[in-house]
Structure 1
Amino acid sequence: MDFTYSQAIIIGFIQGITELFPISSLGHAILIPAWIGGSFRDFISDENEAYLLITIAMHLASSVALFLVFRKRWVRLISGSYRAITSRNYQSTPFRVLGYIVIATIPVGFLGLAFGDYFQSIFGKPQYSALFLVLNGLLLITAERLSRRDVAQELQDSDSEIDRRVSVKTAVAIGFGQSLALFAGISRFGVTMSAGLLRKLNHSVASDFAFLLSLPVIVGASIVKLPELFTTKANELLGQIFVGSIISFIATYISVTFLVRWFKTKTLYPFAVYCLVFGVLSFLRFT
């Protein structure tokens, strides 16, 4: 089946907007083509090589956009951790924060490698994605209702706040929480932030930590399948892959910038309502 530029633009836009919004990019990658129908739905459901290639490229584009938004933080964390190791100052804030990121990434990385393709083969259908999207909305609401009520608190020193409020136990809990995103319809960012809220982090720290955790997960998932981009088929689709990746990069950059500001003063409730409405409508449509 031919892969058109219009399909590349649509998929790139969906990927970029939904990757960091707490509404599940994978769930939308299944549901929106199913709603559109026709050849677009068949293109996605065929699980063909073209769709795999564009998905890998778009995730890489999203990771570049995410890094650019937080580039100063990552440079500070990595350089600070290097200095901590060379000076054996293992209590330094950058080293501890980077350690929490690594700890929280290990569970989802292991489970993703072990069961990711298996879960997608079983649950990667519109009706299941719709159901999990509803569950995602309920999770966001539950986390908000049980969370601390200092939403408007803005971080003065983000890394120090994470170091002060996050513990190894919290990082492990958030790491296993991320693994729920292996089910299409469960948002990785949403469940990560929800896990943080349920561990009594405030909104500022929970969202900030969730943003930092996004990069290694997205990059790791892309690297695993990176060799697929160096094939004859990839060369044939170079133009479409490039266009889709550019759209994904722009959409991701805009959405992340928006969300960083949003969670300084606002909650997950609007996203929860969206997930419930779209999930219920999709479930009724595809069952």
Structure 2
Amino acid sequence: MSVLSYPEAIGIGLLQGVTELFPVSSLGHSILLPALLGGHWKQDLDVSAEGSPYLSVLIGLHLATALALVVYFRKDWARVIGGLVSSVRERRIATVEQRLAWLLIVATIPVGVAGLALDHVFRSTLGKPAPTAVFLTLNGIVLYVTEQLRRGGTGRRRAGSSAAPHEAHLSMEELSDRRIAGLTFRQATWIGAAQILALLPGISRSGSTISAGIFRGLNHEDSARFAFLLATPVIGAAALLKVPELLGPAGDGIRGQVLAGSVAAFAAGYVAVRFLTKYFETRTLTPFAVYCTLAGLGSLAWLTLA
């Protein structure tokens, strides 16, 4: 009998698609929700259980979320890829597109190396509900502290969306790319390295990256945009590494469910990124900080006292 039902797969797909992009930790929610629901959800969706395909399924669903990001930012990726090709051909970094392409490459290296070296250790050792609840609480605290320090002047804010007269013909997305391209390679590396924290279940990849971007001088809108662009190759590559497992014996009996969950994750991810890119034009991380802190503490109390 399958260890993953269609309702479970679709539910987890919807959850993953939303929480991967919201700064609330997709892995944290994918561990905590089944544990809190109990019953067959807890039994079937235990990421730390010996021989369970659940972790491979979760990471496989990331491929659908990465695809949603590619579709949403397709114009940006066309400019980035074009910039990279022209940069290599011309052997220079002169345009915004060329610089943005190399910033994304440099910023991806730290988490790529750390992910290969530490992913199994972190998730097998700490991928249990109680530690996850603690990390989710810490995620909320970090988001809250980021906002407080930004308001106090520690986190510089670059110019907003206003354009100089000679930039009036550019789209909002192109203006954002110009501001992001103003980062140094060292700043981009630090922002990208913040994704390493997401190896800890309960710590959000987008939350860590957005916070790091704010501390390096980007506003909320540009930080979120850079975070989503950075997340695309990282979560896509991680998912592609797991797909062969799902095509082998580990996927026997659940491939249909994984496909259904992937469709749900794609739809949820597309809606989530569309919402968040608008949200961060005018709003902050504070609501997510409050949610993560309360959800983490509440989950920890329930798991401890139940």
TM-score (norm 1): 0.94
For 2:296 and 2:53, the matched residues in 1 are separated by 27
Asked whether the 8 Å contact 1:152–1:264 carries over to 2, the reply is: no
Match in the other structure for 1:125? 128
The CA distance in 1 between the partners of 2:104 and 2:98, in whole Å, is 10
Residue 71 (structure 1) aligns with: 74
Counterpart amino acid of residue 92 in structure 2: N
Counterpart position of 2:289: 272
- Tell me, yes or no, if the aligned pair for 1:26 and 1:185 is still in contact at 8 Å: yes
1:154 corresponds to: 161
Measured in 2, the distance between the counterparts of 1:54 and 1:182 equals 16
TM-score, L = length of structure 2: 0.88
Letter in 2 for 1:78: I
Q: Does 1:91 align with 2:91?
A: no
Contact 1:77–1:97 (8 Å) recurs in 2? yes
Change (3 A) 1:149 1:196: closer
Identity of aligned residues (%): 44
CA deviations 1:131-153 (Å, max 9, x no partner) are 11111011111111222586993
SS in 1 for 2:234: helix
Question: Given residue 37 of structure 1, which amino acid in structure 2 is its aligned partner?
Answer: G
For structure 1, list consecutive stretches of 5 or more residues without a partner in the other structure.
Answer: none
Map residues 1-287 of structure 1 onto 2, 5 A cutoff.
2=2, 3-45=4-46, 46=49, 48-147=51-150, 148=155, 153-154=160-161, 156=172, 157-164=175-182, 166-234=183-251, 236-287=253-304
Give a deviation string over 1:141-185, Cα, whole Å, max 9, x none.
111122258699337412211112x11121121122111111000
CA contact (8 A) 1:151 1:265 kept: no
> Contact 2:53/2:251 (CA < 8 Å) preserved in 1?
yes
**C-alpha separation in 1, matches of 2:8 and 2:51:** 14
Asked if 2 retains the 8 angstrom alpha-carbon contact of 1:134 and 1:279, the reply is yes
Amino acid at match of 1:115: L
- Give the number of aligned pairs: 286
Q: CA–CA distance in 1 between the matches of 2:139 and 2:158?
A: 21
Unmatched runs of 5 consecutive residues or more in structure 2: 163-171
